[in-house]
Structure 1
Amino acid sequence: MFGAEKGSADKLDGRKLAIGIVQARFNESITNALADACRQELAALGVDAKSITHVKVPGALEVASALQAMAESDKYDALIALGCIIRGETYHFELVANESGAAVTRLALDYQLPIANAILTTENLVQAQARQDEKGRDAARVAVEMANLLNELA
């Protein structure tokens, strides 16, 4: 249909890509670690630091607004959402987790733009800390691979 599958090295070649990162500041120690791991992995995949736009917003619910503005600019091959929602004693956790996740997915579909969702939703700080580096790296790889795939399919 589309010919032979590209090699994994091609799928993770970020040299020609422009990437936007939106980071929530709430639970900033976790989101800073997510962002550091993400940026390091993007660099390892060949994404030029000048081709990365990194903005911060107050919390997970505000991530979607910045992602939408980036998507509407038509400057990016992929976007990355970074945040951390830790369960508390009220229903607010479910609201923020559900709404932020749904918004990221809706934007990706509406704009036909890959958005790697690394907004952690955990029961406690220990779980968040255990996932911060791996999920930051994963988000970078997902963004690069999906940008290359959608560029190939276009």
Structure 2
Amino acid sequence: MQDADKGTELKLDGTHLRVGIVQARFNAALTDKLAESCKTELLALGVTERHIRHVTVPGALEVPIALQAMADSGDYEALVALGCIIRGETYHFELVANESGAGVTRISLDHQIPIANAILTVENEAQAWARAEEKGRDAGRVAVEMALLLKELQ
């Protein structure tokens, strides 16, 4: 990853960070892949296993309330939202996608805590599988990068 302003490689060290992960169980095979990739990346960046708290909730609409409880605790420097919403034949897709996304953003802003949002919103299962590993990895990296940035800015 390069810093766009400086054209240099960012050295991310998550050694002293505590990260909370909230994973929706709906579409579990896909969200399990997201979680596996995210945790692998967090560990690679130095976040210790004991500083990663991973919880699951029924679906994407329940992700924000668990994130809020984690943010309220003050125990984390960054959070990660994992889920997978696949378009169906009804308006429900838009409702779940919009409301879960808005909830995640609101909690991040209200609590001034970075939340890497890796709730996939896709047209079909094939699109989800094509993105799951990379997006999980990206979420771990974004969580560490933003936690370090906020520490620097405060």
Q: TM-score, normalised by structure 2?
A: 0.94
The amino acid across from 2:146 in the alignment is M
Matches within 5 A, 1:110-129: 110-129=110-129
The amino acid across from 1:122 in the alignment is V
Cα RMSD (Å) of the superposition? 1.1
Distance 2:145 2:27 in 1: 28
Shift of 1:81: 0.1
Name 2:50's counterpart in structure 1. Answer: 50
Distance 1:36 1:7 in 2: 25
Matches within 5 A, 1:1-154: 8-9=10-11, 12-154=12-154
Percent of aligned pairs with the same amino acid: 68
Distance 1:7 1:13 in 2: 13
Q: TM-score, normalised by structure 1?
A: 0.94
- Structure 1 unmatched ranges of 5 or more: none
Secondary structure in structure 1 of the residue aligned to 2:95: helix
Distance 2:32 2:147 in 1: 24
Structure 1's consecutive aligned runs of 4 or more residues displaced over 3 angstroms after TM superposition are none
Shift of 1:8: 1.0
Number of residue pairs aligned between Structure 1 and Structure 2: 148
